[in-house]
Amino acid sequence: MPKPYYVTTPIYYVNDRPHIGHSYTTIAADLLARYQRLAGREAYFLTGTDEHGTKIAEAAAAAGKAPKEFCDEVVQHFKKAWSALSVEYDDFIRTTDRRHEEAVQKLLTLLNDARTDNGQTVIYPGVYEGIYCVGCEKFLTEKELVDGLCPNHKRKPEILKEKNYFFRLTAYLDRIKTLIESNELVILPDERRREVLGLLNQDLGDFSASRERVEWGIPLPFDPSQSAYVWVDALSNYITAIGYGSDETKFRKWWYDAEVVHLMAKDILKFHCIYWPAILMAAKLPLPETIFVHGFFTVDGEKMSKSLGNMIDPNDLVAQFGADATRYLLLTQYPFGADGDIQVSRLATKYNSDLANDLGNLVSRVAKMIVANFDSRVPTPVKNLEGLQELIESAEDVPDKILGHINKFEITAAIEEAMNLVRMTNRFFDTNAPWKLVKNGEKEKAGGVLYACSEVIRIAAIMLSPVMPNKSLQILSIFGLGKDHLRKENAAIFYHLEPGARVHFVESIFPRQDVSESKTEPSRKKTSESVDGLIDFADFGKLKLVVAEVLDAEKLSGSDKLLRLQIDIGEEKRQIIAGVAEYYSPEEIKGKKIVVVKNLKPAKIRGVESNGMLLAAKKDGRLCLVVPESDLPAGAIIS
């Protein structure tokens, strides 16, 4: 029996809603678990949210909410996004879960009592004085700063001096280095392995295991005046979710006896590849088998950020392409593991090329010909067809090739193996031209071509099911097959379909997309706002108008006509860019109640996101704001 397979994503910080960066890692982990199950292994897939720390407390305060209330709301956005993307996790861990907090305190107690090999305490008190980035929730060194700023958040870090408890990292560095160099601890890709070894050659010191001034966190069991440092708290989720400290049987199965794989992006490499192994060593627990660290991606050549207005909500992609196509498109933009670029404008083109043309068109052509010419029944196979033997050999090899790629985390290459088989089948179909065979009275031979194509479609659907779980089942249902057919051994056998089986075909699997205008670029599309902020809409009745209170206003840098407004629309606060600076100063408009369009897609104006639009009208050359009745509250609907 193969070892169980335990795969995790990082737990995502809940200071904001999920974007396609979160989605990329989560879909990949979901896919890995599905492929292992397809191969007959037990698999357990964990994801979740990281909810403690100063940054969360600050975000909650800015939203006027208690930290837990704020976290509860944001977590729902993550769960809804994963549901929309057909992500099926086995557990969703929250660091505010009581089970997690209790397990972390047990781990901290153990670490506080533990000793290194030379008898030193693993946890010891001290005073930390240094620079700290709230955005990263980590202490930085001067070497890591760029022009005195955090390289990730472009903000000046704080200078902190406080009592901490320290974890004696230095006691474990040599052993970690040896394990990585011998590949007992596998770090992939090799570029990331080299990066970790480079860090280990630097002068790394002990790290803070607690914070004195952080109230929103897990109190240390041996000193409640201190809270667990967010990384000690967060990294522990990988064991607290599977029974550490509460269910020894479950914990041993999924930590001691399983193949453990951590999946993440490279910005948290040091914590997972150095801090986490050291914590596990100190606790005398096994280390994970593999840590896979994928690269960053840009969006149309630019770093993804709010300020650039190019954050992409996965729900927008699902709305346009559907869950399965979104999963496919995100994982096939560039090789998994490398840095790459998501070219939003080409998503619809790739959808049409790969899914509508290659896969969808093959399914449609084959199924429609069977329905029209063979009474909706699977035809009888014929073995003396041009290119058939080559097609069969390729089809029978594909399952092992795909799983070979998956076991090496070559996700993009695995998907390409299946799609190349689909393309090969399209060529086989065109070469043998079954429509001509039917016309020429060679119906039996035409049936043989359609049978062979149907078999490859069945095999491709099975092997693509971890990528596109819903569409694969839809394809299998055409031939009367269901979820119980999704096994690798079924994909490895040609001539599985029974001649005479009923074929049901209703609609195209992947309808073509209109590439004339991409719906997935909400932050890039210009609305019909002109430079002076006027609106010209063809269908005014579809707009949702609400009362907004202007909380703050300032001129947009580099523009004499635009104001950046922070507004309250009742249930949330937003930012809009309005072309009214020639008529209203920031001081005049601040505090006013105005009318705004609530249901516009966010737009990027001068590189700044604008989430809505105010109403104004020109009279006698003067721009006048549309204002509501004075007693209407922010958020009131204008009908």
Please say if 133 is a catalytic residue: yes
Please say if 52 is a catalytic residue: no
Please say if 624 is a catalytic residue: no
Q: Catalytic one among 133, 445, 485, 573?
A: 133
Q: 340-491 — its CATH code?
A: 1.10.730.10
Q: Catalytic one among 153, 368, 383, 504?
A: 153
Structure tokens belonging to residue 21:
């960066």
Distance CA 594, CA 590 (A): 10
The domain segmentation of the chain, as residue ranges, is 5-295, 340-491, 540-638
pLDDT for position 374 = 97
What are the angstrom distances between the C-alpha of 188 and each of 100, 151, 174, 277? Answer: 28, 24, 20, 15
Q: Name the residue among 309, 447, 272 with its Cα closest to residue 376.
A: 447
| Contact indicator for 288, 261 with CB cutoff of 8 Å | yes
Cβ count near 571 (within 10 Å): 8
pLDDT for position 346 = 86
The label of the residue with tokens 């704020």 reads 70
* 60 residue type, one letter: A
| Contact indicator for 276, 264 with CB cutoff of 8 Å | no
Please say if 496 is a catalytic residue: no
pLDDT for position 299 = 79
Distance CA 455, CA 328 (A): 22
Please say if 22 is a catalytic residue: yes
Q: Catalytic one among 3, 303, 436, 483?
A: 303
Specify the CATH superfamily of domain 540-638. Answer: Nucleic acid-binding proteins (2.40.50.140)
Distance CA 199, CA 293 (A): 15
Q: Catalytic one among 55, 71, 100, 150?
A: 150
For the chain, the farthest-separated pair of C-alpha atoms sits apart, in whole angstroms, at 89
pLDDT for position 430 = 95
pLDDT for position 308 = 60
Same fold, 5-295 and 540-638: no
What are the angstrom distances between the C-alpha of 458 and each of 263, 386, 514, 607? Answer: 30, 21, 28, 47
Please say if 19 is a catalytic residue: yes
Cβ count near 632 (within 10 Å): 15
Fold of the 5-295 domain: Rossmann fold (3.40.50)
pLDDT for position 523 = 41
What are the angstrom distances between the C-alpha of 508 and each of 351, 478, 505? Answer: 14, 11, 8
Distance CA 80, CA 22 (A): 13
**Spans in the chain with pLDDT lower than 50:** 522-540
* 137 residue type, one letter: E
**Which runs of E-coded beta strand occur in 51-111?**
91-94
What are the angstrom distances between the C-alpha of 292 and each of 84, 240, 264, 275, 329? Answer: 25, 21, 7, 15, 21
Please say if 306 is a catalytic residue: yes
pLDDT for position 295 = 87
Please say if 71 is a catalytic residue: no
